[in-house]
Structure 1
Amino acid sequence: MTAKSSGPSRRPRTAPIPDERTARRRFVTVSFLFWLPLGLTIAPLVLLFTERGMTLAAVAGFLAAHSLTAAALELPTGGLSDVIGRRTVLASAGLLNLAALTLLGIGTAAWVLTVGMVLMGAARALSSGPAESWYVDTVQANSGPDAALRTGLARASAASSAALAAGTLLGGALPWLLGLVPGLADGLRTSTSGLVLPLSVPVLLGAVVEIVFVLYVLVALPEPPRAPATLRGVLRGVPVTVADGLRLGTRDALIRRILLSAGAAGTALAAIELLTPGRAAELTGAAESGAVLFAGLASAGFVCSALGSHLAPLVARLAGSGERAVLAGLAAGATGLLLLGATVTSSGVVPVALAVVGYGLVYLGLGAAGPSENELLHRRVGASGRATALSVQSLSLQLVGAAAGLAVGALPAGPLPWLLGAAALLAGALLWTRRPAPADEPRESRPAVEAAALDPL
């Protein structure tokens, strides 16, 4: 009869895998769109909570709910991305952030705000790794396992920092600008029965950006077709991938260095984020003006991080290798913290200028080290555990940073808390003074994981 009846069965049509340049551009765009809404919340969120009548203890509880949720789900969600796909998990993160920002923007009860922070923590865990894993998978599918990754990783990291910087400035300026328009702030409160305040506007604007993010992820991040996974198969496959991720640092010296360096960076960030607001208030003489100065410094720090990430490929070329680039970046960050510690008890134009330079050096150094660290990580980890490896790295930064934050808070005021962060970064830098021996080829457990995920029994 006709060729139609005897031909092979049709396969579902899938979008073509983009070339390397297109993949890099989409990865950069996704990174910017994901972090912009979170940047919009940095300046107004705590003030919004207090404007709703929440006590400082309640605000601390909201923040703890976010952090604990993100830490608890970090590894399972990384394994989920490795099992069911990058795009699905990343779009789910956007949807959770959309729900979280909506609740935070209009919520007035403590339990509603708690749910919003828990959802945001879950979204943070879901987002840790899928976009970067998609980019690496796509580039290696086009150009093989030795494809150059550092430039794309650097540009995406720079885009993330730029989004945070722009979001911080916009999120801080919008409520102030709304307050300049006579009657607008009161009109917002009245027309929404108190649900929307001027401080809510940046948060709700972030929710709008999340819609754009989800649509972009679904359209622009095609993946190779996957066979449908059953619930029982996923529940079996995720623990396999997570367990493999937890063993990463024990079987590879280079990955162990990367994880320890992430912990060192977490210590440095905990110190600078906890100590800088008080330092800013001391310089200005008042908490209110100190908050404005801190917002400006935070935005400048994100800009320095973006610049460092953008310069990461150049730093690696000048240093001669990715390992030496990490060493240089962490050493620069340690120098910045030493400057901050050395000037903490001094006043005057010169000490303040040195402190500002030190603050910028911390973010510049960490920004320059990150892309080289991640490129080294991707060369040691196969596609079946890539998102999990990034989650382990993120978890190391978060857990060590949380413990370091407690230590920094317990130390007496003065140079010592700053020097703790400097010592951690310096120790992280010293890990890279010797190049580790080459490792075996990345271990691919995808067939086993997929078999578990697809097993209907």
Structure 2
Amino acid sequence: MTGGPDERTARRRYVTVCVLFWLPAGLAIAPLVLLFTERGMALAAIAGFLAAHSLTAAVLELPTGGLSDVLGRRTVLAAAGLLNLTALTLQALGTTAWTLALGTALMGAGRALSSGPAEAWYVDTVQARSGPDAGLRTGLARGSSATSAALAAGTLLGGGLPWLLALGPDLGARLGQATSGLVLPLSTPLLLGAAVEAVFVWYVLTALHEPPRPATALRDVLRGVPATVRDGLRLGGHDALVRRLLLTAGAAGGALATIELLTPGRAAHLTGTPASGAVLFAAVACAGFTCSGIGSHLAPLTARLAGSGERAVLVGLGASAGGLLLLGGTAASTGTLPTVLAALGYGLVYLGLGAAGPSENELLHRRVPGTRRATALSLQSLLLQLAGALTGLAAGILPPGPSRWLLGAGVLLAGTLLWTRRTRPAPPAAGTGAPPRREAAATGRAC
């Protein structure tokens, strides 16, 4: 036994950290692209801003992976919160392209730093208190549920707040005059998110007391980055199934980049104003989170009906690609039927990705030994970010219309076709253990 918090207290603090970290991300989902548009930025420039987030997160994903082991979970989480606070402030108040690009890049750095330390703190604390065989599943599940709830609530609030401010034209005008045009109604959710980030940093520094752990030299962590990359390349080069899973992560990144870039503008065009478009997009994004959760819940049933995990991935990705094709096919149309089909397509994208994810994870953890699991997961995240950045940039420079949507659909369809052929079975990897919680896929790469 140690003097640290008991399991119930540790679980409560972990859940609180998840809520405080992901609530600002949810607040930014609905207004971000529309705010950039209000600042006079073209879609190609906005795609570049989102790419800055993805590329920064991808570049820092591996180098920052071991920092929490060296500097401490609390220190790294606090640094991530400070970066996100700065990023949200720059995005909310920035009026130039370089300021907005810097804001999204800093958000990517915060995302890379935050990947894992909170969960690691919870596991460290519980095991230090109750031993290595302590139960973790309940706490991790509650943290995942809290993340989804924070994203959903933040998305609805982030979409509704600008709309409420826009209902009073005098209020919106006075707000702009008082701040020399720096604060628009669409800026307010991001500024609220920055305030929440300040609370997050305070809570992390005061509540996350860490148990002692072995010290590791920073130079050893940085020296291990090239070896990690080489291990990952060997994983993909020597095992066809692992290679397929890594490429599938890239295809999913391309699909998510397309959705994030194009849906806000489409919602604003449908409703007539950016503020009302933010409300519609908030509702749509919240529905997307719900569909993703439903898909994940149905993943075991999907695998049973399909006959195997590989076939379940094929079914899930196929449904998701079909959803993007529906969005592309209705991009140039108006009316009730095209709108209904577009909504159905949006739901299918997230339902399919949610249904495919657990089967992908199971296949990965059965194929990859425990000593290389972190490498494989890091490479999955890296490929998702890189492919998302490239697809978003390409979509941003294409002419308006269906072609932008069909690009994302084509990328995801290519990932789907990888699963039309079965791979040879392999014995379970040594030391697989219980698979870790998968990072939320529908949170938005730039949030």
TM-score, structure 2 as length reference = 0.74
Which one of 380, 385, 410 corresponds to residue 420 of structure 1?
A: 410
Q: Secondary structure at the match of 1:396?
A: helix
Cα RMSD for the two superposed structures: 4.5
Q: CA deviation at 1:206?
A: 0.7
Q: CA deviation at 1:210?
A: 1.8
C-alpha offsets along residues 302-334 of structure 1, whole Å, 9 cap, x if unaligned?
A: 332233334445655766765554344323323
Q: CA deviation at 1:233?
A: 3.3
C-alpha offsets along residues 177-205 of structure 1, whole Å, 9 cap, x if unaligned?
A: 23445754455455556554433321121
Partner of 1:448: none
Q: CA deviation at 1:346?
A: 6.4
Matches within 5 A, 1:421-440: 421=411, 423-430=413-420, 433-434=422-423, 436-440=425-429
Q: Is the 8 A contact 2:50 2:392 kept in 1?
A: no
Which one of 76, 80, 84 corresponds to residue 93 of structure 1?
A: 80
Identity of matched residues, %: 68
Q: Is the 8 A contact 1:337 1:421 kept in 2?
A: no
Is 1:43 aligned to residue 30 of structure 2? yes
Aligned AA (2:105): V
Q: CA deviation at 1:399?
A: 1.8
Is 1:213 aligned to residue 200 of structure 2? yes
Q: CA deviation at 1:239?
A: 4.0
Matches within 5 A, 1:260-299: 260-274=247-261, 276=263, 293-299=280-286
Q: Secondary structure at the match of 1:228?
A: coil
Q: Is the 8 A contact 1:330 1:366 kept in 2?
A: yes
Q: Which deviates the most, 386-395 or 182-191?
A: 182-191
Q: Is the 8 A contact 1:137 1:383 kept in 2?
A: no
Q: CA deviation at 1:438?
A: 2.1
Matches within 5 A, 1:316-331: 323=310, 325-331=312-318
Q: CA deviation at 1:42?
A: 2.5
Cα pair distance change 1:304/1:283, threshold 3 Å: same
Matches within 5 A, 1:295-306: 295-306=282-293
Is 1:173 aligned to residue 160 of structure 2? yes
C-alpha offsets along residues 18-38 of structure 1, whole Å, 9 cap, x if unaligned?
A: 48x975x76665444333212
Aligned AA (2:416): L
Q: Secondary structure at the match of 1:199?
A: helix
Instruction: Quote the Cα distance in structure 1 between the aligned partners of 2:285 and 2:400.
Output: 24
Which one of 95, 100, 115 corresponds to residue 102 of structure 2?
A: 115
Partner of 1:15: 4
Is 1:441 aligned to residue 430 of structure 2? yes
Cα pair distance change 1:407/1:49, threshold 3 Å: closer
Cα pair distance change 1:46/1:268, threshold 3 Å: closer
Is 1:353 aligned to residue 343 of structure 2? no
Q: Which deviates the most, 55-64 or 389-398?
A: 55-64
Instruction: Quote the Cα distance in structure 1 between the aligned partners of 2:62 and 2:384.
Output: 13
Q: Is the 8 A contact 1:32 1:163 kept in 2?
A: yes
Partner of 1:198: 185
C-alpha offsets along residues 373-427 of structure 1, whole Å, 9 cap, x if unaligned?
A: 3355456567766554332111111222333445556599547546514522422
Q: CA deviation at 1:57?
A: 6.7
Q: Is the 8 A contact 2:62 2:378 kept in 1?
A: yes
Cα pair distance change 1:116/1:308, threshold 3 Å: same
Is 1:397 aligned to residue 384 of structure 2? yes
Aligned AA (2:430): E
Q: Secondary structure at the match of 1:77?
A: coil
Instruction: Quote the Cα distance in structure 1 between the aligned partners of 2:303 and 2:74.
Output: 30
Instruction: Quote the Cα distance in structure 1 between the aligned partners of 2:14 and 2:367.
Output: 21
Instruction: Quote the Cα distance in structure 1 between the aligned partners of 2:239 and 2:221.
Output: 27
Q: Secondary structure at the match of 1:176?
A: helix
* Structure 1 unmatched runs, 5+: 1-10, 445-457
Which one of 235, 238, 252 corresponds to residue 222 of structure 2?
A: 235
Partner of 1:336: 323
Is 1:65 aligned to residue 52 of structure 2? yes
Q: Secondary structure at the match of 1:78?
A: coil
Aligned AA (1:171): G
Cα pair distance change 1:169/1:188, threshold 3 Å: same
Partner of 1:125: 112
C-alpha offsets along residues 331-386 of structure 1, whole Å, 9 cap, x if unaligned?
A: 33233234445555766544543332222011011123224433554565677665
Q: Secondary structure at the match of 1:438?
A: coil
* Structure 2 unmatched runs, 5+: 434-447
Larger radius of gyration: 1
Partner of 2:243: 256
TM-score, structure 1 as length reference = 0.73
Aligned AA (1:374): N
Cα pair distance change 1:136/1:411, threshold 3 Å: farther
Q: Is the 8 A contact 1:82 1:387 kept in 2?
A: no
Is 1:78 aligned to residue 68 of structure 2? no
